[in-house]
Amino acid sequence: MDAWEKVIALTLLAGMAMPLGGGIARVVRLGPHGLENELRHGIVAFGGGALLSAVALVLVPDGVEALELGPAMLCFLAGGLAFMGIDIALNRSGASASQLVAMLSDFVPEALALGAAFAYGGGSGVLLALLMTLQNLPEGFNAYRELRESTHYSARRLLTMFFAMAWLGPLAGLGGLWWLSDYPAAVAAIMLFAAGGILYSVFQDLAPQARLERHWGPPLGAVLGFALGIAGHMLIG
């Protein structure tokens, strides 16, 4: 396969994890009590662990290679501030789509970075695709549940919307491959910006939701999500 075909295939695979997660949420009816409640919190924690593994294993290590300390810190902090601004805007508007916004805010810059990584010929693109898939599955699950509970959208409409959003991955990936590959500093800036935003989202949205009084299992979901990221890093890297 040519590089552009790999980029399309991998970003689309990662993107389709969003409607797949939504489809699982539609089929699996989790109640508010007992083991089902703990499982729901565990899924949230798993997504957080996968996101942290993307930050720690790909986005930050690859991002700092092409930038000096000052620009790297500025890009990372700018990502956190930008996601905070989005969070504040959503809160003031009364919109209940924080999981959806977080999912897209992670997915698009990561797809850009994936496309650029393939232009460099390294293995980080495949690893990033794996981590994107791992994080999009629980994010799709959580975003579907959030929107079903807070909007009048039907299940079919939500899944169709998630399916359409998955195609943003190939578009962003090809953009990274064809236009950003000659600008490694720009790719590094995007990676660090995304890493800062992801870190903000994990501690603002996912980590608080993962905690459950008198239950100690859900945090293991975060450990499992990060462990799978380590496994992918060791196998591919």
**pLDDT value at residue 34:** 46
pLDDT averaged over every residue in the chain: 82
Alpha-carbon torsion (20, 62, 109, 125), positive or negative = negative
The residue that leads in pLDDT, 131 or 1, is 131
Is this model's pTM higher than 0.85 or not? no
The residue that leads in pLDDT, 116 or 1, is 116
**pLDDT value at residue 166:** 95
pLDDT at 131 > cutoff 90: no
**pLDDT value at residue 174:** 94
CA 120 to chain centre: 22
**pLDDT value at residue 14:** 94
pLDDT at 51 > cutoff 70: yes
**pLDDT value at residue 164:** 95
Which of 31-40, 179-188, 217-226 bottoms out in mean pLDDT, i.e. has the lowest? 31-40
pLDDT (average), residues 214-232: 71
**Confidence band, pLDDT 50/70/90 cuts, at residue 81:** very high
**pLDDT value at residue 114:** 87
